[in-house]
Structures are given as structure tokens and as C-alpha cells.
Amino acid sequence: MNLEEKIIDESIQGKALMVESKVLNGKKLFLESYGCAMNFSDSEIVASILMKDGYTTTQNYEEADIIFVNTCAIRENAEQKVRNRLNDFKRVKQKNPKALVGVLGCMAERLKSQFLEQEKLVDIVVGPDSYRDLPNLIEEAEDGHKAINVILSKEETYADLTPVRLGTNGVTALISIMRGCDNMCSFCVVPFTRGRERSRDPESIVAEAKDLFEKGYREVTLLGQNVDSYLYSGGGLKKETLTEEQKKSATNFAQLLEKVALVAPELRIRFSTSHPKDMSDEVLETMARYENICKYVHLPVQSGNSKILEAMNRGYTREWYLNRIEAINRILPGCGISTDIITGFCGETEEDHADTLSLLKQVQYDYAFLFMYSERPKTLAERKFKDDVPEEIKSRRQSEIVAVQRENSAIKTKAGVGKVHKVLIEGFSKKSDEMFMGRNTQNTVCVFPKENYKKGDYVNVLVTSCTASTLIGHVVKNQD
């Protein structure tokens, strides 16, 4: 990941994913995913379901019988890019009238009528909790009916399905530990597209991690909209109905982290995303106890001003957030920290913006993902506030944040020079097949000569130089 990607990511990324099927039905599937890691994890669930139904896959959508786009609804430009992509797929149906096009994921519920009826771009619309119904929906669409299922579930976690690993390097993998979100941040559409929060059985998570390790994977990322609120009690009980006594006996996120860390010392653990109002010292102390839990936290702040945080309904103040940063630095010295920031939220003044800049300078994040506020339908912000910051001011403020964060990223990367870093080899460097790349525990990319090592090996890299965002060095022996 280069500096620009670390600092700002304003576009969704599409990726065609491949999977092999053991029982063929003669039909080809093209599956393209956009947006966050959760969407890519969901695509692995979809692939698992359709693989059992006999589909093979293709990277060429023009030869596909079924095209699925797994969508993101976080920002307006994301939706526009998906719509443009669906227009590309229209040409497939002109050549092959029997071909089907479907939309999966977060855009499905909100734009189902536009996609199906008004714009006639798709044949199938499926929400995040309805992937088990895909074979039936495909059959309906093949019979000439518009097929739709966007019902949100309070129970579905897909815990019994083994995801098919897509587009993988064979070293790192995603494990979904929960679905949905109970936080009603005023700018966010996720609670409306993914439903209420529900946690997955920890034993199924541990089993998946063991299976991945046995298959040669050496790093897993535990995924949830808010991993810190993970809580599993068993017995089909909903989190919101638990008594205080039942919550004490339930498995929380710190305990889950420990369970997964104990799968194997050689299996690295990462997680995303944390929420400042829920991140506990217990989680940080668990991270400190286990060397294979990476010392890296993505802790979105969104704004450095308490008034704006209240308007965003984030559930914490600037002071609370800085307390969590202090705890990370105290319990996990040298921990890598990244964040998300929204610039130009409703009512944001120059003074509010200055508070965000000052927080950036105080925390000195390793990197940050920065977004200009984009009003989303159905959110509290759309109903309650006016999107009153002009686009040119949003853009200027964002540029100022980028400038500060560029300095921060360079400082944090340079601090790694002259040190030895334990690195998990993920594959070749983008620039040379003679160089390997991997990440250290703080999630910083390291590049070094490949020598006789291979993907999946742990190596100790002495860093001798760096770019703005990448450490460069060579492997040294006999280092702890």
C-alpha cells in the first residue's frame, strides 16, 4: 500500500474473484466485489454456496452465465461506480439473453426498485442475510421472474459454512466473527443495510482458524463492524436481551482473541474494526500477552471535535478518544495505530476542523483513511441535519488533513529504520520478482531480497532505508 492509498481512499475497489467447483453444472459465474473487507468476506460465502450448486468461475464477464456484483453503499460515488459497472454488463445480456445479472450486498435493499424496475439493470437482488437463498433466486430468474430477497435477519451468521478463499495469496485470510451493527452513527447506512448486531459462535471461529492454519495460512483477520462489541452467550439468546449476569458468563472479544491466538503460535491475528466507545483495556492486555496478536489497532475517530462527534452520534468525546489512545500506547508501546476521518460533516466550522488537525498532530497515526462527508439516504444525518459545508471547502479541508497525515506517516515509517522487524512473507514485491514483501506487527509493509525464502515464512528483516510508507531491508539470522 503506497502513501496515497494509506492517506486517502475515496474510491471503492472492484475485484473479480475465482473459485473452482468440484461438481460442474456447465454454467460460469463472474463475481466482482466492491468496498470493505466484510464485502470480500461475504463474497467467499457466496462462492461457497454456489460452488455446492456446481458453478465454475471466470474472470471474463463476457462469457459468464451469471454475473454478481457485491456492492458497497457507504458513499455516493461508490453507488455511481456500481451503476456504471451494471451498464457495462448490459452488453453481455445483449449477446446472451439468457445471462443473468445480480446485485448483492449493501446496495441491494435500498436500490432494489431502481435496479429491477426503473433502470432494468439486474435480474436478481440479494441482501447480505439472504445468500443461502441464491440457488432458488437464480432458478426464479431463469424462469423469467424478477428475483429478490433483501430480508434482514436477527440470527444469520453463516457460521456453518466454510468460505471458499477467493483471490487469496494462500497466506492471509478473513474470518467474519459477527454481522450487523447496533451503533446508529448519524452518517452511516450500515445498520439499515446489514441489520442488528449478532455474534458468531466462538467455537466455529476457532475451528475456521484451525482449518486455515492446517491449510498453510499464517494470518487471519477477524472481521466485524464493531469487533469490540462481540458477545456470544449461546442458547440462541440475543445480546440485547441478556441480563448483566448472562453478559458476565458470555464470551467477549478479549476472550475470543485469546481463543484464536491459542490455535497456534505461528498464526498471526489481526482484527477490524474497533470502536473507541467499546475498546477495553482487557482487549489491549490480551494483545500484550500474545506475541501472535499483531500490535496494530485501527481506531476510527471521524472528527477531533466533541460537538461534531455528538452530532455524528459516535458515543464518545475527544477526551474519551484520547484516553483510549493513551491506553494503547501505555499497554502496547510501539503499537501501530490508524484511523478514519470524515471531513465536512454537517455544521463543521473552521474551528471544528482545526480540532481535527490538532488531534492528528497529537496522535501521529501511522496512516489514515480520509473521506469527504457524503449524505446517505435513511440516515439520521439526512433527516436531522443540513449538508451545509460546500464541496470546495470539504475538499480544501481534506487536503489540509492529507498534508498533516503525510508528515505523520513519513515520521512513523522512518522510525522503523535501523530496527529488526518480524515479517510474514505474503508474496512478491509489486516492483520486482526478486524482492519479497510482507508486513510487520504494526502493519507496515517491508520489502527485502527473496533469497531462498518462500511465502508463508516468518523472517527477521533489518531495515536499512525506507520510502514514505515502505520499509526496505534484508533478512538477518538468529534474531528473536
The per-residue DSSP string of 327-346 comes to: HHHHHSTT-EEEEEEEES-T
pLDDT, one tens digit per residue, over 318-349 is 999 999 999 999 999 999 999 999 999 999 99
> What pLDDT sits at residue 128?
85
Average pLDDT, stretch 179-186?
91
CATH number of this structure's domain 420-476, picked from the four choices 3.40.1390.10, 2.40.50.140, 3.40.1030.10, 2.60.40.790? 2.40.50.140
Question: Measured in Å, how far apart are the chain's first and last C-alpha atoms?
Answer: 27
pLDDT, one tens digit per residue, over 26-40 is 788 888 887 777 878
> What pLDDT sits at residue 10?
33
**336: amino acid identity, one letter:** G
Average pLDDT, stretch 150-160?
78
In CATH, the number for domain 3-149 is 3.40.50.12160
Domain boundaries, given as residue ranges, for the chain:
3-149, 172-409, 420-476
> What pLDDT sits at residue 388?
96
CA angle 412, 458, 476 (to 5 degrees): 75
> What pLDDT sits at residue 423?
98
> Do strands 435-439 and 420-428 pair parallel, antiparallel, or not at all (unpaired)?
antiparallel
> Do strands 147-149 and 100-105 pair parallel, antiparallel, or not at all (unpaired)?
unpaired
Helix (H) or strand (E) holding 41: helix 37-52
> Do 83 and 121 meet the contact criterion of CB atoms below 8 Å apart?
yes
pLDDT, one tens digit per residue, over 414-431 is 999 999 999 999 999 988
> Do 41 and 176 meet the contact criterion of CB atoms below 8 Å apart?
yes
- CA-nearest of 205, 152, 202 to 182 is 152
> What pLDDT sits at residue 9?
35
Q: Report the CATH fold assignment for 172-409.
A: pyruvate-formate lyase- activating enzyme (3.80.30)
User: What pLDDT band is residue 63 in, cutting at 50, 70 and 90?
Assistant: confident
Residues of 257-272 as b/e, b for ≥16 C-beta within 10 angstroms? bbebbebeeebbbbbb
User: What pLDDT band is residue 257 in, cutting at 50, 70 and 90?
Assistant: very high
Same fold across 172-409 and 420-476: no
Alpha carbon distance 115, 105 (integer Å): 13
Alpha carbon distance 186, 45 (integer Å): 29
User: What pLDDT band is residue 16 in, cutting at 50, 70 and 90?
Assistant: very low
